[in-house]
Amino acid sequence: MPKIESVDHLTEYRRKLKAGRDPNQPTVLVCGGPGCLPLGSEEVAEAFKEAMADKGLNGKVILKTSGCQGLCAQGVKVLLRPEEIAYQQVTLEDVPEIVETTLVGGALVDRLLYHKPGNGEACAHKSDIPFYQGQDPIVLRKLDLIDPESLDDYLATGGYRTLRKVLFKMTPEMVIDQVERSGLRGRGGGGFLTGRKWRLCREAEGAVKFIICNGDEGDPGAFMDRAVMEGDPHAVIEGMLIGAYAIGARQGYIYVRHEYPLAVKRLKLAIEQAREFGFLGNNILRSKFSFDLKINQGAGAFVCGEETALMASIEGFIGEPHPRPPYPAQAGLFGLPTIINNVETWANVPEIINMGPDWYADLGTKTSSGTKVFSLVGAVNNTGLVEVPMGMTLRQIIYDLGGGIPGDRPFKAVQTGGPSGGCIPEQFLDLPVDYDSLQEVGSIMGSGGMIVMDDTSCMVDVARYFIGFLHAESCGKCTPCRAGLTQLKHLYEEITSGRGEMEHITLMEELCQAMASASICGLGQSAVNPVLSTLKYFRHEYEAHIRDKKCPALVCRPLLTYTIDPETCTGCLACVRECPVGAISGIKKEAQEIDQELCIKCGLCYETCQFDAVNRE
């Protein structure tokens, strides 16, 4: 790669790059996103390589591993450009057929296309699939277009064009003004106006300022930041460059959790490429602007997603939050003015400046402009990543894009905002999703996790789960959070074990009030949301656990009884082998029996039995 010495050089390089590329170049894009990777997408890509070589397609068809293509439920996904033929659930065995039939023969492999549930109509192209209709991707738009490890791919699709515009045609004030006018709000959860935060930092005194990208995506159920860091790392870097120029920072940090090894690898590579090319370093593109980036890896602490804890971690300390104010924009990393935004926020910035703030502000709702990426998971047919304009209703997202609930089971709740969010019941399905509306119903936007639950989920168990999670992740610095979570956890254990009393509910509400008002950081303050929202909308489930000692959804272990139906049991002994406490006994090929004294109600027998002979009630 050449070092770009000037703006003209960049123009020339991009021109040559584009001239050398045929827009109709046949390309196979195998999805390497967070959903497809565990399904073996690397092996599928390898199989394509071999099968294409066998058919003499090398040089004629290009093979790429792309970022997340969105519809994770149908992985491994393969997209054939330029036609945008979208193949679903591709396995190693399907690859030779795709190569033979489609790449060589020009015909479709019908069984690998998406078929609409109901009428079974085949969708040949990506745009025919209902999941993609109604989406308006900005942050995700390049994920199924480029090879994330190729800077040329990023440049050929307009990458670093905005940086150039910013450096040579805009003052820092103009950049901040545009971000402010766009109405962009922080995509990490808080929803603070990004432009206002930048302005505060620009106006803060001090010659040395920092910017940070928060890639410590810890909310269980959210993986959009992982997908962006892995799928379009240069967009994050370009966004940060623009932010650094706007506030006057020379050094930036990207903090990525260590559970995301591929994101770290891709970002490292992208930073090296950007340095080599001259987008990072001194006097970028021969301007007066100098900036460089460093990656810091998290070490396994959820609380480090909180901005002050994250900065403590970069400084080499344990991730304990500090009270705000002072806000990071005034006194952040090493006590100096710092802007910290999350991955999705940074990735939005280049396109906002490129297309203009009015374009962005026109998308979405009045108070929440633009689009938002959601990870739509749980009890929904089309699990995956969606990017929709703010203001789309929950029903549209879950039923139109998500294709509804598997087996047409009844919808119970949707959980948004991770452990700081709440459970939203059916009565709010027509709620337009934005920062404020979610808050009004007792949840939050958070980073965009959207976990759909049907009648097989117990809402007491869900709240117990989040409290257990937060209890394990609380840093322990402040008493309301540390002691409050310990007590809440204890109360949930009592209730889900059949030892609950109605007074426990009052105790929980009092605890929540104290924690929300007295905890130092967001972790403790918002830990109450899962509790209060389930108490508000699903109080009857708490009452069933406490009064009737029953878990209506058959989830809470101590309240269940497992028995074996002697009529159905074949005596295969599969459950006997699986039972961790040796509670199941009987003669081979005859009906088995569970010793209720020994049974720990783990449910392994229930899941193992191939004959549905284990009853749970």
Which residues of this chain interact with other proteins, rule CB under 8 A? 34-35, 37-39, 72-73, 75, 217-223, 226, 258-261, 296-302, 313-319, 375, 377-379, 383-384, 415, 418, 449, 451, 453, 457, 462, 465-466, 469, 473, 475, 578, 580, 602-604, 607-608
Residue pair 270/237 in contact by the 8 Å Cβ criterion = yes
| Residue for token pair 């905005």 | 162
Q: How far is the CB of 513 from other proteins (least distance, A)?
A: 25
Q: How many other C-beta atoms can be found within 10 angstroms of the C-beta atom of residue 100?
A: 15
Q: Supply the minimum distance, in Å, between the C-beta of residue 389 and other proteins.
A: 22
Tokens of 282: 């001194």
3-state secondary structure of 34: coil
Over the Cα atoms of the chain, what is R_g?
26
What's the burial of 408, exposed, middle or buried (CB within 10 Å: 0-12/13-18/19+)?
Answer: exposed
- Closest approach, Cβ 20 to other proteins, in A, equals 35
Nearer to other proteins, 75 or 389 (CB): 75
Closer Cβ to other proteins, 153 or 216, answer by number: 216
What is the greatest pairwise CA distance in the chain?
A: 83
Of residues 81 and 257, the one with the C-beta less far from other proteins: 257
Task: Give least dist CB 580 to other proteins, A.
Answer: 4
Comparing CA positions, the residue from 507, 506, 481, 416 lying closest to residue 224 is 416
CB of 16 to other proteins, least distance (A): 37
> Can you tell me the distance from the alpha carbon of 154 to that of 233, in angstroms, rounded to the nearest whole number?
9
**What is the C-alpha separation between 557 and 498, in angstroms, rounded?**
10
Shorter beta-carbon distance to other proteins: residue 2 or 316? 316
The phi and psi torsions of 20 (rounded to 5 degrees) equal: -80, 0
φ/ψ (deg, to 5) at 86: -110, 110
Round to whole Å and give the CA distance between 25 and 35.
27
Nearer to other proteins, 122 or 600 (CB): 600
**Nearest distance, CB of residue 523 and other proteins, angstroms:** 13
Shortest reach from residue 310's CB to other proteins, in Å: 12
Q: By C-alpha distance, which of 473, 467, 440, 446 is closest to 527? A: 467
* Nearest distance from C-beta of residue 212 to other proteins, angstroms: 13
Instruction: State residue 378 phi and psi, 5-degree precision.
Output: 95, -140
CB nearer to other proteins: give 114 or 279: 114
The tokens describing 113, both together, are: 């296309």
Residue 533 · residue 443 · CB < 8 Å: yes
